[in-house]
Amino acid sequence: MRRAVRVASALVGAAYLAGCASLGINDALNSTNTSASQFTGGNLELSRTEEQQKARAGLSQELLSKPLAQDDAVRLALANSPTMQALVAQGWADIAAANQAGRMPNPVFTFERFRLGDELEIGRLLSFGLADLLLLPKRVSIAESLAAQAQVQLTGAVVDQITQVRQVWVRAVAAQQSLKYAEQVKESAEASAELARRMQAVGNFSRLQRARQQVFYADATTQLASARHATTAAREELTRALGLTDVQAAQLKLPERLPDLPRAPREASQVASAAGEQRLDIQQAKAQLEVAGRSQGINLLSTFVDVEAGYRHDTVFDNAGGGSATRRGWEFDIQLPLFDWGTARRDALNAQALAAANRYDAAVRGATSQLRENYSAYRTAYDIARHYRDEIVPLRQSMAEENVLRYNGMLIGAFELLAEARDQIASVTSAINAQQQFWLADASLKAAVIGRPMAGMTSVSSSSPASTLSAGAAH
């Protein structure tokens, strides 16, 4: 009886020890809202009740009732996107699976009943893995590392999704803004083509001169069609990122233009100081290294031997004599390494531990390099956008005003004035593209600081659809 009590006490203690290792989804959400507060604003949650769903629907309706700013787009995605909810639910599943790794397998109760002549034998066996019980503290420690790894993965997935929302919003607003200027170019080209037709009709224009204006009008019409499709595609991409229904998509309103550039760019020293060991990529590689190291010791033992322990309590009834006898004892089932000595499994464990160590080393070495690359893209995009804002666009505006004066003084004709207007519009379109590249790089830099350098990486380019229009206007 004392042995049974000791066995039961050991099993209860094991169950308690395993239960202490649990990390809940609420703990993971609080950690994500704290470590990535600049992304979630503390609003990340998993909706599991009808009240939460109604609150999310109300917030979504409120945000859609006005032009959607970038920060509001992030709030809307957190509240409305089923993709975001799926990420959180998957994180919950991963954390639960990690917690399961710290649980000891349930004991097995075996009941046997045998009859031989006048004898009836009833056997009862309670067995469990002895190695599992002895190594339970290490299993709990591994489960904690796995849960921490799952939590970091959840935070990284949320950061990726929010970065995507920010960049998609930028592209949608920029496409809408560029469409307006494409429409102005088309109207200018249409007026130029009509004027050329009339002048040829009265003999003041050659066929070649009119053909040049007509070709530009045809190109402008094509560019306008492309701009309309780009606007639709960007808007639908934003609709998917926000998880909008058809009714909500019809309610979506965007600002007329992108936000102004900040007065000054972020300094490289500020960006470097914000990054460090708290980076998600380094945390994830470190968690993988800890799991590999702790698992190696446990799994190496199982490659040599596996022991099952059991407590037996048998009762034998003698029907002829009317008596009974009881047998008690222990059983041990030991796996004998006769055919498989576990060398291949040990090689795999050593290789996994070595790979995890090198991945951690690579993450640490590459972190600062990736951050410098993202900052270079950010700073270059800022300088280009500011150059367009402060130099090119004002110069084009000044040239346009001067050409209006020259046209009023009959020093230039209507075609020269229209060509200058088209060049000015093309410069504004290029400025919009440069501003778009800056805000894309800004979102990418924010992700790189927290340790998601591949989230929304963007290249810096000053080219834009307006280049084709500018080339046509030069004729």
What's the CA gap between 99 and 380, in Å, rounded? 46
**Do the Cβ atoms of 46 and 29 come closer than 8 Å?**
yes
Q: What does the chain come to in residues? A: 475
DSSP string of 256-291, one letter each residue: SSPPPPPSSPPPHHHHHHH-STT-HHHHHHHHHHHH
Looking at residue 278, its pLDDT comes to: 66
- Tens-digit pLDDT profile for residues 433-469: 999 999 999 999 998 888 876 554 555 554 444 443 3
How far is the CA of 48 from the CAs of 150, 182, 242, in angstroms? 20, 47, 19
The better pLDDT of the pair 85, 352 is held by: 85
Looking at residues 122-146, what average pLDDT do you find?
A: 80
Looking at residue 475, its pLDDT comes to: 39
What's the CA gap between 292 and 288, in Å, rounded? 6
CA 450 to chain centre: 12
List b or e across 11-44, with b for residues whose CB sees 16 or more CB atoms inside 10 angstroms: beebeebbeebbbebeebbebbbebbeebbeeeb
Confidence of residue 68 (pLDDT cuts 50, 70, 90): very high
Looking at residue 397, its pLDDT comes to: 80
Looking at residues 157-170, what average pLDDT do you find?
A: 94
**Model confidence at 232: pLDDT above 50:** yes
Q: The domain spanning residue 318 has which CATH number?
A: 1.20.1600.10
| Among 81, 92, 236, 94, CA closest to 162 | 81
**Do the Cβ atoms of 372 and 269 come closer than 8 Å?**
no
Angle ∠(272,34,64) on CA atoms, nearest 5:
100
| Among 182, 126, 185, CA closest to 328 | 126
Looking at residue 469, its pLDDT comes to: 38
Looking at residue 472, its pLDDT comes to: 40
The better pLDDT of the pair 127, 245 is held by: 245
How far is the CA of 106 from the CAs of 58, 179, 473, in angstroms? 46, 65, 79
Q: Is 302 helix (H, G, I), strand (E, B) or coil?
A: helix
Angle ∠(201,194,205) on CA atoms, nearest 5:
40
Q: Is 330 helix (H, G, I), strand (E, B) or coil?
A: strand
**Do the Cβ atoms of 373 and 274 come closer than 8 Å?**
no
Query: Which backbone phi and psi does 474 adopt, to 5 degrees?
Result: -70, -15
DSSP-assigned letter for residue 462? -
Looking at residue 1, its pLDDT comes to: 46
Q: Which of 245-254, 274-283, 320-329, 347-356 has the lowest mean pLDDT?
A: 274-283
**Model confidence at 344: pLDDT above 50:** yes
**Model confidence at 243: pLDDT above 60:** yes
What's the CA gap between 376 and 373, in Å, rounded? 5
- Tens-digit pLDDT profile for residues 39-61: 999 999 998 888 988 999 999 99
DSSP string of 132-162, one letter each residue: HHHTHHHHHHHHHHHHHHHHHHHHHHHHHHH
| Among 211, 231, 177, 219, CA closest to 425 | 177
Which residues, in sequence order, are bridge partners of residue 450?
A: none
Looking at residue 62, its pLDDT comes to: 94
Element (H, E) at 298: helix 280-304
Q: Please provide the average confidence, as pLDDT, over all residues in the chain.
A: 81
Q: Is 457 helix (H, G, I), strand (E, B) or coil?
A: coil
Place of tokens 């020093």: 411
Confidence of residue 340 (pLDDT cuts 50, 70, 90): low
The better pLDDT of the pair 351, 339 is held by: 351
Confidence of residue 160 (pLDDT cuts 50, 70, 90): very high
Q: Which of 8-22, 289-303, 431-445 has the lowest mean pLDDT?
A: 8-22
**Model confidence at 77: pLDDT above 90:** yes
Looking at residues 14-41, what average pLDDT do you find?
A: 77
**Model confidence at 158: pLDDT above 90:** yes
Task: Name the residue range of residue 53's domain.
Answer: 2-473
Looking at residue 329, its pLDDT comes to: 80
Domains in the chain, number? 1
Looking at residue 216, its pLDDT comes to: 81
Confidence of residue 384 (pLDDT cuts 50, 70, 90): very high
**Do the Cβ atoms of 219 and 188 come closer than 8 Å?**
no
**Do the Cβ atoms of 36 and 158 come closer than 8 Å?**
yes
Query: Which backbone phi and psi does 101 adopt, to 5 degrees?
Result: -65, -20
HSE-CB of 455 using CA atoms within 13 angstroms: 27
> Hey, CA dihedral for 315, 318, 324, 329, is it positive or negative?
negative
Confidence of residue 298 (pLDDT cuts 50, 70, 90): low
Confidence of residue 233 (pLDDT cuts 50, 70, 90): very high
Q: Show the tokens assigned to 407.
A: 């046209």
- Tens-digit pLDDT profile for residues 92-129: 999 998 888 888 788 888 888 888 777 888 888 888 77
What's the CA gap between 98 and 157, in Å, rounded? 17
Looking at residue 111, its pLDDT comes to: 87
How many beta carbons lie within 10 A of that of residue 348, not counting itself?
Answer: 13
Looking at residue 22, its pLDDT comes to: 67
- Tens-digit pLDDT profile for residues 393-449: 888 888 777 777 776 777 776 767 677 777 777 888 889 999 999 999 999 999 888
Looking at residues 164-177, what average pLDDT do you find?
A: 95
Residue type for 367, please?
Answer: A
**Model confidence at 473: pLDDT above 50:** no
Looking at residues 212-241, what average pLDDT do you find?
A: 90
**Model confidence at 238: pLDDT above 70:** yes
Instruction: Quote the pTM value.
Output: 0.80
Which residues, in sequence order, are bridge partners of residue 129?
A: 308
What's the CA gap between 206 and 246, in Å, rounded? 53
Give Cβ neighbours of residue 19 (< 8 Å, ≥ 6 apart).
none
DSSP-assigned letter for residue 104? P
